[in-house]
């Protein structure tokens, strides 16, 4: 765990003026044990947008997100963030696994969990600085979980847990958020709250990429839509992507 140069980041990527930072995936291929899980994925995006990743079961949505953050060893292609190829882990790109893959009974409070996100930036033994405390508080405010700070995460509703997990990623100064099925298992009110928050994150300069199932809400929540089925089918505004031909290619 290395301490990232966090000052540098502040200078080069101010959150307020974001929207100009480019994120691009170029010709990404991923294999699992000789089987081709994904091929020919290329798209460009900028900070301040929300992108829906849509595809059937086994279309490779999780694989794509994992490949972007370097969790798929046998993948080729280039992922660029702010013009630089992403070779290894960077705190600015965060991947959040599906909620059911996380330990929801982990014995920790909301505040403690959000704090975990800050550790890689602080280092192994150093005390939290004022700016670290600020980042943690900001992340909790952003996701509206400040009042839950002393609650155990196991005692929260699914929607609250999801917001706390996203707050953890925000505390690590992530600008690109890759969310795996963030709406899965949430009731309607929780979905609405989360959708608003994702919109707000994008509006404040984050790039949100989330796998999504509900075609009725894609347009409301997301600016762009990436349709895949082991390969790239279409990418663009949801209204342009949601054609019968594309859907047939993705789900047919």
Positions in the binding site for other proteins (CB under 8 A): 1-2, 66, 69-71, 88-89, 91, 93-97, 101-103, 106-109, 112-113, 116, 119-120, 122, 124-125, 152, 172
Minimum Å gap between C-beta 188 and other proteins is: 23
The Cα–Cα gap between 112 and 133 comes to 12
* For other proteins, the closer CB: 90 or 229: 90
Minimum Å gap between C-beta 131 and other proteins is: 17
The Cα–Cα gap between 45 and 89 comes to 19
* For other proteins, the closer CB: 152 or 217: 152
CA distance to 119, 123, 126, 249, per residue, from 129 (Å) = 11, 11, 9, 51
Token pair listed for 195: 């959708």
Contacts of 200 (CB under 8 A, 6+ apart): 142
* For other proteins, the closer CB: 109 or 217: 109
Minimum Å gap between C-beta 75 and other proteins is: 14
Minimum Å gap between C-beta 149 and other proteins is: 12
> What are 239's strand-pairing partners?
none
* For other proteins, the closer CB: 150 or 216: 150
Cβ density class 126-145: b for 16+ within 10 Å, e for less: eeeeeebeebbebbbebbeb
Is residue 31 helix, strand or coil?
strand
* For other proteins, the closer CB: 5 or 20: 5
Minimum Å gap between C-beta 102 and other proteins is: 6
* For other proteins, the closer CB: 7 or 88: 88
Q: Where are the beta strands (DSSP E) in 21-138?
A: 22-32, 35-46, 50-54, 75-81, 84-85, 93-96
Tracing tokens 């895949």 back to the chain, one arrives at 228
Minimum Å gap between C-beta 133 and other proteins is: 16
CB 26 within 8 A of CB 18: no
């Amino acid at each position: 765990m290395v301490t990232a140069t966090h000052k540098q980041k502040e200078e080069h990527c101010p959150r307020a003026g974001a929207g100009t930072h480019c994120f691009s995936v170029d010709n990404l291929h991923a294999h699992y044990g000789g089987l081709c899980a994904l091929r020919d994925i290329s798209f460009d995006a900028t900070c301040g947008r929300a992108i829906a990743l849509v595809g059937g079961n086994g279309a490779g949505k999780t694989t794509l997100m994992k490949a972007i953050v370097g969790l798929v060893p046998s993948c080729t292609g280039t992922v660029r963030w702010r013009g630089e190829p992403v070779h290894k882990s960077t705190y600015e790109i965060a991947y959040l696994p599906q909620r059911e893959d996380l330990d929801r009974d982990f014995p920790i409070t909301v505040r403690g969990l959000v704090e975990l996100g800050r550790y890689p930036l602080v280092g192994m033994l150093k005390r939290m600085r004022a700016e670290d405390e600020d980042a943690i508080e900001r992340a909790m405010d952003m996701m509206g979980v400040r009042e839950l700070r002393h609650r155990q995460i196991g005692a929260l509703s699914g929607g609250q847990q999801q917001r706390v997990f996203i707050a953890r990623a925000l505390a690590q100064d992530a600008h690109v958020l890759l969310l795996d099925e963030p709406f899965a298992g949430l009731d309607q009110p929780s979905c609405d709250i989360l959708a608003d928050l994702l919109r707000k994150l994008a509006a404040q300069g984050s790039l949100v990429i989330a796998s999504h199932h509900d075609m009725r809400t894609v347009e409301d929540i997301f600016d762009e839509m990436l349709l895949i089925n082991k390969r790239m089918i279409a990418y663009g505004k949801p209204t342009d992507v949601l054609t019968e031909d594309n859907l047939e290619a993705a789900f047919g």
